[in-house]
Amino acid sequence: MNKDIFLTNNLSNKKEKFVPLNKKKIGMYVCGPTVYDNPHIGNARPLVIFDILFKVLKFKYGKKFVTYIRNITDVDDKIIKSSLEKNIPIKELTKNIIESFTNDCNYLNCERPSEQPKATDHIDIMIKMISELIEKGCAYESNNHVYFQVNKFKDYGKLSNKKLEDLIAGSRVEVSENKKSPEDFVLWKPSTDNEPYWESPWGKGRPGWHLECSAMSKKFLGNEFDIHGGGIDLLFPHHENEIAQSRCANNTKTFANYWVHNAFITMSNEKMSKSQGNILKIKDFKNKTNGQVLRLALMSAHYKQPLDWNDKLLEDCKNTIEKWYDLYLPVKNLSKISDDILLPLYDDLNTPGYIANLHQLYDKALKGQDNEKKLFISACNFIGLLTETREEWLNFKKKKSLISEEDIQKKIALRDKAREDKDYTKSDLIRNELLDKGVLIEDKNGKTVWKFK
């Protein structure tokens, strides 16, 4: 039975055995948020997926040997635009969104990465990298801008698996008379008086978005590292540009060895986007859905496949966790987890396969002793589920209910009276009223029992 880790590597376009550069120094870099607006549910998918990969790598190689970097982009044109639209200072905007992002990560039960660097704290190393690229003839200054000259990097387009002319034709290339070629991308741009700026050899300005990740990954993981991750929308041009500028600046044949990208979240099979008007913010779920439900939903499809987001998905995940909590026992360590249980996760993070394993473990635990229950809970804990106590789970449901327990009992008494009078229309109305307020009632053995949905 193969117990190696396999990942789909978009650099080769196939699933490969994961072989780290150094088993005692494993590095993973994942593109984090650009903090111009509250994160949406599409942003949540990479948070959960790469959190699970972080857990798998630590389990396999040891916690102290794995470094997970997830950056925060806090200087960008989108941030400037949002600051003007909201009429609040940029620093206040980014501070608020970073706080919101942190709360969302906690809500989804994601571990904090090893480091979470902010772009604005690393402008000096970005300026240094740009200077090196100019010295090597891979970048040029033009009218206070600095551009990377794409035709100086012969492997450009290798990650996207397309020719340069195809990539240009299929993307929105920024047209500028400052460029030597349309495909060249910006490393540094000038700032106006009301925009954030830093002093540089090319005047007051700010870095290009693509450069930020190259500089921060180099600082924390070195010139070459194991895994680079992010959403599939970042593959081109962002990740393609990272490879070009990093390899040229660092004089290396590789940048990251494995490129792992998660697919989009869709709604009614359409991509979630502002233009479609179907953006769902993570914060909008917090008062009505336990974070564990969203976490299970986000791993219910393989990360390489689109995930269609709908109410039925959330209801099914809520019912699953509700059922699993019937076997809850506090477990203080995960020592009983074995490679055999984790095999689906070793196989390209097959979270649906792992969830199927959890259902099997649940069925065994249902008929077994406490040791089977502890194994089941440990296996759930491993992927960040059932980490709250049963009381905390029930209290969340109780908190979001729109009716008190006293009023629930009064309604049940009225329903019982209606049933005695054979007024089934009124009985059904009361049942539906309670259901609308988050309370599910059932008739069992001649008695009416209730629970929060």
Mean of per-residue pLDDT scores for the chain: 92
Rounded to whole angstroms, the Cα distance separating 182 from 170 reads: 13
Tell me: pLDDT of 346 over 90.
yes
Q: Which are the contacts of 134, defined by CB distance < 8 A and separation ≥ 6?
A: 140, 141, 146
Q: Quick one: pLDDT band at residue 447, thresholds 50, 70, 90?
A: confident
C-alpha distances in Å from residue 138, one per residue of 94, 125, 169, 378: 32, 17, 23, 51
* Category of 438 on φ-ψ map: left (φ > 0), alpha (ψ -120 to 50) or beta: left
Reported pTM: 0.87
Give the mean model confidence (pLDDT) for residues 98-108.
97
Provide the pairing of β-strand 26-30 with 225-231.
parallel
Q: At what angle do helices 291-298 and 41-61 cross, to 10 degrees?
A: 80
Rounded to whole angstroms, the Cα distance separating 346 from 339 reads: 9
Q: Which of 125-134, 211-220, 342-351, 438-447 has the lowest mean pLDDT?
A: 438-447
Rounded to whole angstroms, the Cα distance separating 17 from 229 reads: 16
End-to-end CA distance of the chain: 41
Q: Quick one: pLDDT band at residue 84, thresholds 50, 70, 90?
A: very high
Residue 271 is classified by DSSP as E
- C-beta separation of 296 from 385 below 8 A: yes
Q: Quick one: pLDDT band at residue 369, thresholds 50, 70, 90?
A: confident
pLDDT of residue 302: 98
In the chain, the percentage of residues whose pLDDT exceeds 70 is 94
Q: Quick one: pLDDT band at residue 152, thresholds 50, 70, 90?
A: very high
Q: Which of 219-233, 263-277, 339-353, 379-393 has the lowest mean pLDDT?
A: 263-277
Domain ranges of the chain: 6-265, 287-396, 401-452
- What is the fold of 287-396? Isoleucyl-tRNA Synthetase; Domain 1 (1.10.730)
Tell me: pLDDT of 178 over 60.
yes
pLDDT of residue 132: 98
**Helix, coil or strand: residue 242:** helix
Give the residue among 248, 301, 254 at the shortest CA–CA distance from 159. Answer: 254
Give the CATH H-level superfamily of domain 6-265.
Answer: HUPs (3.40.50.620)
pLDDT tens for 7-31 read 999 999 999 999 999 999 999 999 9
pLDDT tens for 213-269 read 999 999 999 999 999 999 999 999 999 999 999 999 999 999 999 999 999 999 877
pLDDT of residue 441: 85
Residue 237 is classified by DSSP as I
